[in-house]
Amino acid sequence: MSATILALASDPAHRFSKIEQCELTLIAGRGAKGDAHAGQTVQHLSRIAKDPFQPNLRQIHLIHAELFEELAAQGFAVAPAQLGENVTTRGVDLLGLSRGTRLQLGQEAVIEITGLRNPCRQIDGLAKGLMAATLSLADNGSLIRRCGVMAIVVAGGTISVGDPIELHSMPKIHQPLEPV
């Protein structure tokens, strides 16, 4: 896998888009240092309202830059951090990974993929119709969510724009990604 970190972002407030950063410090079991979504228990406001004690399976949000190119071909101009992701990747098929796959970001940090990001209506705040553009239908009629994946931090470390992304480990049996 020849993949790199194209952009990084975090935000201490619960805003939809994040602020681009040159580097992030990932903390094991928590997420990106200083990010509103970091924590051992769920930090997304809608999920806190349902059950504030559920584990945070959404510590880190990754989106593939290739999605931005697909959206641009449909007339949408989307830049890194605008969809609320912490890590924008290039060269890795995030949506094709198995739940439980571990990726090494940079020299030390390791994350574990927990599932798909379920896009919300706030995406249409950037551009009307953008949410629908991040969704598609599979041949069997099931919904394909293309708005990135969520992960937990297994091993902390500082990551920087341009750092490599390496496959660390993957489950023996592929576990399809589902929204978390």
pLDDT bucket at 46, cuts 50 / 70 / 90: confident
- Would you call 144 helix, strand, or coil by DSSP? strand
Give per-residue pLDDT as tens, 100-117.
999 999 999 999 999 999
- Tell me which residue of 90, 143, 89 sits closest to 116, measured CA to CA: 143
Q: What is the DSSP code string of 53-83?
A: TSB-S-SEEEEEHHHHHHHHHTT----TTTT
What does the pLDDT read at residue 131?
Answer: 95
Average the pLDDT over 29-51 and give the result. 93
What does the pLDDT read at residue 2?
Answer: 87
Average the pLDDT over 9-16 and give the result. 96
Sequence length of the chain is 180
Domains and CATH numbers, the chain: 3-169 (2.40.33.20)
